[in-house]
Chains A and B, each alone.
Chain A
Amino acid sequence: MTAFLHDALPVAVQACFVYLALTYLLFAVQLLVAAVENVRRFREERVEDYRLLAGSRFTIPVSVIMPCYNEAAVVVAGVRSALDFDYFEHEVIVVNDGSRDDTMAVLTAAFDLHRHQIFYRRTMPTEEVRGLYRSATHPRLLVVDKANGGKADALNMGINLARNRYVCCLDGDTIYERDALLKGMRLAVADPARVVGVTSLLAVGLHPERQGSARDDTRRIGRSLLINFQHIDYLRSFLNNRAAWSRLDFMLCAIGAFMIWRRDVLMEMGGFSRNFTCEDIEMTFRVYERLLREGRPCKVLALPDTLATTEGPARVSALVSQRARWQRVILETVWYYRRMLFNPRYKTVGLIGMPFYLITEVLAPLFELMTVITLVLAVLFRVFDFTQFLLFLAAISMLNACFSVSALLLQDRMMREVQWRDLLHLVLISPLELILYRPSLTYARFKGTVDYVRGQKGWNKFDRNVRQPAPPVA
C-alpha cells in the first residue's frame, strides 16, 4: 500500500497542479476580459445622462417584485428602499410568501395597509392568495399575502399582478440604492429588443439596513472577517467573472437579489420554476436555452455597480448551508440543461459558458477535495517536505489574493465605494482568504454535491443575523 502511494502520489500531485494551473489560467483570462468590460461600462457611465433618464416619460415603466419570507427584521427598510427608487414610473409588489414571523404585521403597521379587492390575471398558477393590500401612504405599493410556496411561486404571483413591460425581481432582505433601478434599466432601455435581462453587483453586510450608502459616503465595512470575505467573494464574482461572461454573451447567472427581466420573456417561459432549489440561475439558463435554440436575439448583462447591500450569514454554519444550496442548484441546472454543453447552436453559452461551469463549479468540489487529500498525503509520505508544502500554500494564497485585490482595485478605479481604511483592511485580509474562508466553501460545495446526489431540494434559509429586538408592533 505504502509503495503504491509512493508511486501514485507524485502523479496525483501533478494532476492537482494541472487542475489548479488550468483553473487559475481561466480566471486570469477572465480577469482580462472583465477588465475591458468594466472599463467600458465605467466610461459609458460617465457619459450617461441619468437625470434625463429618470425624468423622461419614454423611460420604460417597471414592476418591482419583492418576495419575502420571514423577513420582519429588514423588510420595511427593503421596501422603503424600493419605493424610493429614483425612476419615472414604477410599482412595488411585495409578496409575503406565508411568513411565520411578523413580516405581514410590520408591513401593515409601517405602510398603513388596507385590504383591497383587485382582480388580476392568474396567468401562472400559485399557492392560495390570502389577501391583497394597498397602502394608504404609498400609492405605488401593493402587498400580497399568500400561502407559502417558495420564492419561485411568490415571484410568479408578482408577475401575475405586474402591469409593466419589465419586472425587477428583488429580495426582501436587501437594501437598495436609490439609483439601482435606473442603472439597471439603462441597458434595457438602450436596446430593448436584445437585452432581455440585467443583473448587478451587491455588497454584503451584517445588517444591511444600517450599512449606509456608497452614494452619500456613509457606507461602512464592518470588521467581521466572515462578512468581509463574502464581500470580497461577491466583488470577485461580479467584477472578475460576470463582467467577462457579460462581455462574451454567456452571463449564465442573474442573481435573485437583483434581476431585471422583460416580462414577455418570463411569461413565455411559463414563469419561475418550482422544480429547482433556486429560481434565479435556472431562469437564466432557460432563457438562453429557449431563445438561442430558436435563433432569437438574447442578451443578459451584468453591471459592475454596487446597487444594493444584502445580508450575509454571520456564522460559518449558516454560510455553509447557503453555499451548499447554491452548489446544489448549479448541479441541478447544469445537469438539466446539459444538452447545451459543447453545442454550437448555443454559441458562447454552449461552447464556453457551460464548459467553464463544468470545470470551475461542477467538478470543483471533487478536485478541491482531491487536492487537499493529496497534499496532506504528499507531506505525510514525504513526496515533498513540510517547508515546500507551506511555500506552495503561500504561493496559492498570494495568487488568490491577486484576484481579490484585482477586484477591489477594479471597483475602486471605477468608483470609490468604501473609505480608504476599509479598502486597506480588505486588501490586507485577502491573502488569509485561502486559509480562513475557502475551506468552508470547499466543504459547502462538497456538501451541496452530496445533497444533490441524495435528491435534496429544500431552501435551507439561514437564520437572520442577531439584532436588537424591534419595538412591539401595535
Chain B
Amino acid sequence: MVPRGKEQAPEQHAERARALVARLPASAIERLAADASMPQWLAEPFAVRTVERRGDARYLRAASSHRNERGLWKRISALRILCAVGHPEAPGLLKTALLEGDLDLAGAAVSLLGTQSSREAAELLVHALRERRHPPSRVAARLDRFPLDVVDLLAPLVRDADPSIRYWGATLLARYPARPEVEAALAGLAMDDDPSVRKAAVESLGVVGGTGAAPTALRLLGDPVFFVRAHAARALGDLERHDLAPRVLPLLADAEWWVRTAAKDALQAMGPEVAAAVAGSLDHPDRFARNGAAEVLQNLGVLDEIAARAARGDVTVDDRALLEKAAAAGGIVPATGTVRRILPAVSDRMRTLLAGAVARPAS
C-alpha cells in the first residue's frame, strides 16, 4: 500500500520517502516512479533515485521514440520519470510526444504538461486543444488547473473560426473573474452565432459576474435555443440576483423540460428572498408553472416555515392562503409533507387547520 501523505509536514514526507527508497529494489523504485497514482512527494524521490542508479541516457532514449506497444508504455514511463526529476530535456520530449499523433502518448503528454510550471507547456496545451490531439475536456481540465496565469493564451481562442474552440475559450475564461477583459470577451461571445458558444459564455458569466453579466443573461433568457435559455437562468441563479426572479419565473412555463428545471434550480439558488415573487406564480394559468412554483417554495423551506409559525400560533390569513394555493398547485404532497414534519409540534387546532388546507384541493 502507498503510505498516506496527508496531515504530515514536508520533512516527514521526505523522511518516509527516503526510508522507502532505501528498502525497495531498483525495479520496484522505477515502476513506482512512473506510476501516475503516486503522490508527488513520493514520486519525486523515487524518480531521482532511479535516474541516479541507472543514468538518464536510458530514459532519454526510451522517451524519444517507440516501435511497438510495449515500447510506447516504456516511453510514457520514461517521460514521467524525466518530468518528475525536472530534466531539462523533458519539455522538448513532451512536445515531440504530443505532436506525434498517438492518442495514448498524447494523453500522457497532456497529463505531464499540466504539471509543468512553464509558459511553453501552457502553449503546448492550448495547441493540443486547437489540434484535438486528445479529448478536449481532458486538455481543458489541465488548462483549468494550470499553475500559471494563462489568460493571454486563452483569449485568442474566443476569436477562433471553429465554434468548438470558441466554446472552450469561453468555458476556460471563467477561471479569471478578476480580469476586466474576460467579462468583455464573454459578453461578445454571448452574441455568437453558435448556440453552444452562447451557452458556454453565459455559464461563465454566471461565475465571473460583473456589471454586464446579468443583462446578458437576461437577454439570453429569450434565446431561441432551449439549452441557452436553461443556462441563462442558471447563470442568474449563480449570480444570486433575487431581484431578477420575476424575469426567470416565466421560464417555469417553458415548453422544454430542461428549461423549466433550470428555472426551478435558479430560483432556489437565489434564496428565500424570491418566495414572494414565486408565490405569485401559484396562480399562473400554466399547470407546469404552478407545479414548479410549489416545488420551489417547498424546497426553499417556505412551507415548513409557515407550518412552524402555525405551530407557534401566529399564522396569518396570507400564510393560510399560500399554503392552500401551494397544495392546489403542487398536488397534495408538499402540504402533507409539511404537516407530517411538524405534526408532533402543533396543537390540535392547528393540525385541523393545516389538514383542512391540505384536504380542500385534494377533494
Contact = CB atoms under 8 A, between A and B. Distances in A.
Interface string B160-203: 00000000000100000000000000000000000000000000
Contacts of A48: 36, 111
A119 B288 contact: yes
B135 A117 contact: no
Interface residues of B, number: 41
A470 interface: no
B111 A118 contact: no
Given A46-B34, A46-B35, A52-B145, A117 B138 contact: no
Contacts of B141: 52-53, 56-59
Interface in A101-136: 114-119, 121, 131-132
Interface residues of A, number: 32
A192 B108 CA distance: 19
Given A40-B69, A46-B36, A117 B1 contact: no
B135 A47 contact: no
A303 to B, nearest CB: 16
Contact of A58 (B76, B104, B144): B144
Interface stretch (B272-280, B326-334, B353-361): B326-334
B330 A117 contact: yes
A50 interface: yes
Interface in A210-230: 216-217
Contacts of B8: none
A121 B144 contact: no
A114 B337 contact: yes
Nearest to B288: A119
Contacts of B65: none
Q: Chain B interface mostly helix, strand, loop or mixed?
A: helix
A117 B331 contact: yes
Nearest to A48: B36
Contacts of B137: 56, 58-60, 189
A268 interface: no
B138 A189 contact: yes
B295 interface: yes
Contacts of A294: none
A43 B71 CA distance: 12
A44 B37 CA distance: 11
Closest 4 CB pairs of A and B: A56-B141, A117-B333, A58-B137, A43-B73
Given A117-B337, A189-B137, A190-B138, 20 more contacts: A44-B104, A46-B34, A47-B76, A47-B77, A47-B80, A47-B104, A48-B111, A49-B36, A52-B114, A52-B142, A55-B145, A57-B141, A114-B337, A116-B298, A116-B337, A117-B331, A117-B334, A119-B292, A189-B138, A191-B135
